Every structure is written in C-alpha cells, then in structure tokens.
Structure 1
Amino acid sequence: MQEPDITTQSSTVEEWTQALAESTGSPGGGAGTGVMLAVAASLASMVAGYTDAGDGQQGTVDSIQARARSLRQEALRLADEDSAASKAFGAAFRLEPGLERDEAVRDASVQAAKASAVLGDHAIAAFDDLAWLATHGNKALIADVVVAFGALRAAVAGARTNVSFDLASLRSTGASLEQIRDQQPDLWAAVEKLTDAMDRIDRLTAAIDHRAAPTDAT
C-alpha cells in the first residue's frame, strides 16, 4: 500500500490540516477519524496524569495513562494507514469500467472498510477508561473528559460511517446489499457495534454534562 505524502506522524498540525483541506481525498475523513481518536487519547492521558489516586487505585490510573499514551501513537499510525487506503480507493474508481476496475474497487473498498473498522475497535476499547476518569478522575478536569468523549464520539461516528460507505461501494461491482452482508459479515456487524458505541457515549455524556457545563440552563 502506498504511503501518503503528508502523514500525521511527520507533519505539523498546520501541514496536515492544509493537506486535509485539499481536494485529494488523502488524507480524508477516515484519517480525520484517527486524529480525533488521538485527541481523545491525549486528553485521557492528561486527565489521568492530573488524577491523585486514592484507596489503592494508583495502579489503575497508571494503566489508564499508559493505554492512552499508546493509543495516541497507534491512532496516528492508523490515520496514515487510512490515508493510504483512501488513495487506493480513489485510484480504483478512476479506472475504466470493466473487470479490472471491478476487482480493484472490490479490493480497495474492503481494505478501506477494514482500516476504518480497526480504528473503530480502538475507539470502542477506549470507552471504559474515559468512563472511569469521568467518575474517579480529577474533578476539576471533568470538562476535559467531556471534550475527550466528544472526540471519541467523532472517531466512532467516523469509523461507523466509513465502514458502511465502503461496504456500500461494493454495489458498483454488481453486488447487492444482501450479498455484501453475506460476504463481509464481520464488517457488516462492525457497523452495528459502532452504532451501539455511539449510543453508550451519548448516554454517559448526558449523565455528566451538568458537572462539565453547570451554567447551561438546559
């Protein structure tokens, strides 16, 4: 898979967002999903670092911070992988109609969906640590936890949408949605799993919003 010219791991924020703003599709929304996940992980690490653990919970805090730091790096790496998959996806659709194009579209669509599903799995795995910080973390940083959940939701929503869209793109090769579901059951199930994760995030953030935004009359 061809590496993207601009990467999250070697570019400044200015350079990367400028590349995102161009009409190239690489980086695109999938890579943006990875960056949002990295933001969520970074905030989780920060809040954990400010949390004074009690009742023998320092080990839990340390583990949360270690996972968050690792996830930040992994999310950026996955964002770059998604950029490469996006480039292959676009190239496949630019081929002349025919069997070669159908095969290229089929492979690129599945690979792009897999890249987004992996990002989604990492985002889902981060939920419990953020939920722990919402309850036990430094209370002065609850607003940062809510912002982290917002970034996490954006990552989950992005992964869900991209997996679904990439799967649906297989219809251009003549496959029906029923055939796609039967041929790619794991990716199909990932869409529902990510939808459920969005609902979990919404419920939790609604429950703690009064602590993060106490002046909100609603």
Structure 2
Amino acid sequence: MSETEEITTHRSTVAKWTHGLSQATGSPGGGAGAGVMLAIAASLTSMVAGYTEPDAQRADRLSAILAQAKDRRETALQLADDDATASQAFGAAFKVDPGPEREEAIREAAIGAAQSSAELGDHAVSAIEDLAWLAEHGKRALIADVVVAFGALRAAVAGARTNASFDLATLKSSGSTLEQIQASHPRLWASVQTLTAAIERIDACTASIDDRAAPTDPAGTS
C-alpha cells in the first residue's frame, strides 16, 4: 500500500494529509477536501460557542450548538475519508476495458460518489443556522471567526454541490441522458438545487455581518 493510500483524516498530520491531497492520485481529492472544510467550519463553530456566555434563555440552544458541532466535526472527517475511498472506485471504473462491464462500473461508482457528496452536503446545510445564530448571539469579539467559519462552510457546500452534479452527469458516459438521470435519481438531483440555495443563504449571512467583521474595509462601510 502506498503512502498516499494510507492517509486518513484521523491518522495523518495536517502536513501529511495536505501532501497527499497535492498528489496526482485523486484520493484524497476535492470531495475529501470539502469534508475537511466542513470539519473546520464545525470546529470554529464549537470554538465560538465555547467562548460565548449565554443568558438563561439561550443556554439550551448554545449547548445544542456545541453538541452538534462536535458531532459534525467527527462526521465530516469520516465523510472525507469515505469520499477518498469513493474516488478510488471512480478511478478504477474508468480503467475497465470498454464494454457493458465498464459502463456498469462507471454507473455504480458515479452514483456512490454522488451519494457521498449529497450526504456531506446535508450535514453542511444543517450547520448554517447554528452559525447564523452565533453571528447574532455569539461573543462579539469572535465575529471574524464566524465569518471564517462561514467561508469554510461555503467551500464545503460548493464542493458537495459541484461534485454531486458532476458525478450525476458522468452517468451520461454509460448511455443515460440528463432527463433519464433526473428521473432515476430524483433525490440526488434535488440535492444539487438544495445546495445551490444553501450557498446563497451563506452568502447572505456573511454579507449581513461583514461590516462588523471587517470594519476597516471601505466596501463594508459604505
């Protein structure tokens, strides 16, 4: 087993993991990178929530945000490793000799990869409201960290959206049209639209607090 194949988010240092990402292997690749970005967003969410001192009315919500962020970080790291595995299957499918067996291998790998991306996207979307709440009620001195978390979350959502869409479109290589793909995989198809809307929501949240996070930027003070 090569050095790159042994790399995982749980066992590798950041230096080793990003070195693996830099290699021309695709495992880990962009999807795994999106998972790590979600883990970063979850970690920053947890940090800001941990610094925040709630009043009695908001203690339960803050406690829930902390618990969800902790679970989301662990889940995101596992999904990053799962995506790396899915990438290997994808690459292997395209190496099969032309014919029905190759088409079936591509179909299965594409669906599996799209499902992996959609699952990551679901977890990322669930993080938006927690960060939006912290933007409003979290410790004000950490508003810049909230914006950084939104940036990482946006990268995770955009990555999940693009990968899911690309993976679905790859089914055309096995003879399906886009109309047939939509009819056969409506949930995965709809997830792309959901993630597109999530990006817009994140952008709106970030724009609404930019004047507090970057007060010296003329664009934020106009």
TM-score normalised according to structure 2 size: 0.96
How far apart in 2 are the matches of 1:211 and 1:94?
A: 52
Q: 1:145-156 to 2 correspondence within 5 Å? A: 145-156=146-157
How far apart in 1 are the matches of 2:95 and 2:19?
A: 24
1:7 alignment counterpart: 8
Which stretches of structure 1, 4 residues or longer, exceed 6 Å deviation after superposition? none
1:119 alignment counterpart: 120
In structure 2, the residue corresponding to 1:126 is in which secondary structure?
A: helix
Cα offsets for 1:104-136 (capped at 9, x unmatched) = 000000000000000000000011100000000
1:137 alignment counterpart: 138
Amino acid at match of 2:51: Y
How far apart in 1 are the matches of 2:205 and 2:57?
A: 25
Shift of 1:198: 0.2
1:16 alignment counterpart: 17
Deviates most, 55-64 or 102-111: 55-64
Shift of 1:54: 1.2
Amino acid at match of 2:122: D
Cα offsets for 1:157-214 (capped at 9, x unmatched) = 0000000000000001111111111111110000000000000000111011000000
Shift of 1:147: 0.3
1:193 alignment counterpart: 194
Cα offsets for 1:14-53 (capped at 9, x unmatched) = 1100000000000000000000000000000000000000
Number of equivalences: 216
How far apart in 1 are the matches of 2:13 and 2:49?
A: 26
Shift of 1:95: 1.1
Shift of 1:55: 3.9
How far apart in 1 are the matches of 2:205 and 2:146?
A: 11
Shift of 1:5: 2.2
1:180 alignment counterpart: 181
2:43 alignment counterpart: 42
RMSD across aligned positions (CA): 1.0
Amino acid at match of 1:60: R
Shift of 1:96: 1.1
Matched, 1:206 2:186: no
TM-score normalised according to structure 1 size: 0.97
Runs of 5+ consecutive residues of structure 1 not aligned to the other structure = none
1:71 alignment counterpart: 72
In structure 1, the residue corresponding to 2:218 is in which secondary structure?
A: coil
Deviates most, 12-21 or 51-60: 51-60
How far apart in 2 are the matches of 1:108 and 1:57?
A: 45
Amino acid at match of 1:122: H
How far apart in 2 are the matches of 1:108 and 1:211?
A: 45
In structure 2, the residue corresponding to 1:168 is in which secondary structure?
A: helix
1:96 alignment counterpart: 97
Shift of 1:63: 1.1
How far apart in 2 are the matches of 1:186 and 1:70?
A: 24
Runs of 5+ consecutive residues of structure 2 not aligned to the other structure = none
Share of identical aligned residues, percent? 62
